Structure 1
Amino acid sequence: MKLEIDHRSQTPLHKQAESLIRELINHPDYKSGKLLPREIELSEQLKISRNTLRQAINTLVTEGLLVRKKGVGTRVENKRIFTGAGNWLSFSEEMRILGIEIHNFELQIFRQEVSAEAAAFFDIEQGTKVMRLERLRGKKEYPFVYFTSEFNPEIPLSASENYNRPLYEILESDYGIIAHTSKEEISATAADHFIASKLDVKPGVPILVRKRFVYDVYNNPIEYNIGCYRADSFTYTIESKRNS
């Protein structure tokens, strides 16, 4: 695979190198965890300094996409799914950026009484019926996340939508509702028998739980989502800057 930096571009060299290495990571030759070319070879090929190259590589190491081992080299990390805080993305967008083809193993949508936590979020009465979406999703080889979503009853969702489309595309295209803000809670717990059976793990093994409270552009609550992830397939990173 030919990698080439545009030295006339206004894009910083380390950002160009980062973008090129992301392409390399998604190449079939590297997806299985292959070592990257040595830094000296890669920097010479790109015609940039090794410090500039390391800046790009460090970003990808921080994201969990690369693993650097002293005396061995830098290889592609093929075990975990990375996501992070900042400009939040839908699950479909996260996976598209990572070049991961997502498969729906199970998909159900039905009306049921709202859960207590969702009722508090939507500020509606207990016993109100809402649409609930349940999806088991993952790679072709195995599922790694079980999602449940409850929706504000003011959104006229039905079971007739094509839920193989990205969820937020459905809300925006079909109902003019734009998902804008997500407040999240991340925790660890032990898989109960139900979740263990869904994720193909043993009961009691650690899983990660991500709760999302999603608002539209007018700050109206639209979705309460819980994702249960296999801990061996998911990494959540947070980058913070210290105020001077």
Structure 2
Amino acid sequence: MDFLEIDHQSALPLHAQVEDLLRKLIEKPEYQNGKLLPNEINIAKKLGISRSTVRQATNKLVYEQLLIRKKGVGTSVARNNISTKLDKWASFTHEMDEKGVVFKNYSIKVSNVVPDKEIQQLFKINPGTKVLKMERVKGLASEPIVYFVSYFHPRTGLTTDDDFSKPLYETLEKEHHIVVSVSKEGISAILADKQLSKLLSVETGAPILFRKRVVCDAGDRPIEYNLGYYRADRFTYTIDIARK
């Protein structure tokens, strides 16, 4: 075990010192790539401290979702989950940029289609009217994370000639003079079918976070109907709720 020694004479509590050592240890490539951490008994013996002190330190990192502890297996580094807050709304690209998370487009497909009845009624358009449909798969350099399907009201003026590799809402505002104002959302859990398993590189039946979003302009008129399919093992929605 490549550990630095702890200082038994330090005013810093032993569990805090162990926590610092563990934070350094899990940055090593072998642990980032899935190697199990030394067990708590061996760490305690190496450092000359109690197992409960080591457990206190590892519990802190498990709570912070930096470590995953599996009974009968061991403790390993958690893969970084992508999270987004529900108490504010921004474009996906802008929000990931703020977090310093570099996302790439795996695929972008744009077409003109006749939408289903639900979208026709939402947009208040006549049956047979075509709308712009955009499909995107986005993710980290290592793997896809999310599959988006968007339908746009004809009033947006978006066409297949627009550059959809750019942030969408910036394009709407700068190129088409439409300012989005409100997002109305619903979130549920589903299982990946064959199409999603292929697009998101998961097994059929894997858990998926499904989000349905209606984006409205400043006049509260729907301009986008968006479906998002997020890998549940790589993406988390969070919300801060104040007590009344």
Q: TM-score, structure 2 length as denominator?
A: 0.68
Unaligned runs of 5+ in 2: 1-26, 34-59, 70-75
Does the alignment pair 1:178 with 2:174? Answer: no
- Structure-1 residue corresponding to 2:188: 187
- Structure-1 residue corresponding to 2:10: none
Whole-Å separation in 2 of the counterparts to 1:77 and 1:86: 26
- Structure-2 residue corresponding to 1:209: 210
Whole-Å separation in 2 of the counterparts to 1:65 and 1:165: 32
Whole-Å separation in 2 of the counterparts to 1:129 and 1:65: 45
- Structure-2 residue corresponding to 1:137: 138
- Structure-2 residue corresponding to 1:151: 152
Q: How many residues align?
A: 187
Q: Which has the larger Rg?
A: 2
Does the alignment pair 1:95 with 2:101? Answer: no
Decide whether aligned partners of structure 1 residues 221 and 67 sit closer, same or farther in structure 2, where only a CA change above 3 A counts: farther
Q: Deviations over 1:222-242 (max 9, x none)?
A: 100001011101101122112
Q: Which amino acid aligns with 2:187?
A: I
- Structure-2 residue corresponding to 1:229: 230
Whole-Å separation in 1 of the counterparts to 2:181 and 2:87: 13
1:107-126 aligned at under 5 Å gives the runs: 107-126=108-127
Contact 1:106 1:136 in 2 (8 A): yes
Q: Displacement of 1:117 after TM fit?
A: 2.7
Q: Which amino acid aligns with 1:184?
A: E
- SS of 1:154 mapped into structure 2: helix
Does the alignment pair 1:166 with 2:145? Answer: no
Q: Deviations over 1:69-115 (max 9, x none)?
A: 9xxxxx99643110111221111012112211111111011100112
Whole-Å separation in 2 of the counterparts to 1:77 and 1:171: 38
After TM superposition, the runs of 4+ consecutive aligned structure 1 residues lying more than 3 A away are 64-69, 75-78
Whole-Å separation in 1 of the counterparts to 2:203 and 2:117: 28
State the superposition RMSD in angstroms.
3.0
Whole-Å separation in 2 of the counterparts to 1:211 and 1:143: 19
Contact 2:68 2:78 in 1 (8 A): no
Whole-Å separation in 2 of the counterparts to 1:116 and 1:77: 43
Contact 1:65 1:82 in 2 (8 A): no
After TM superposition, the structure 1 stretch with the greater mean CA deviation from structure 2, 113-122 or 153-162, is: 113-122
Percent identity, please.
Answer: 39
Whole-Å separation in 2 of the counterparts to 1:178 and 1:29: 45
Q: Displacement of 1:205 after TM fit?
A: 1.2
Q: Displacement of 1:65 after TM fit?
A: 7.1
Whole-Å separation in 1 of the counterparts to 2:96 and 2:65: 13
Q: Displacement of 1:155 after TM fit?
A: 1.6
Whole-Å separation in 2 of the counterparts to 1:183 and 1:67: 34
Contact 2:153 2:224 in 1 (8 A): yes
Q: Which amino acid aligns with 1:195?
A: L
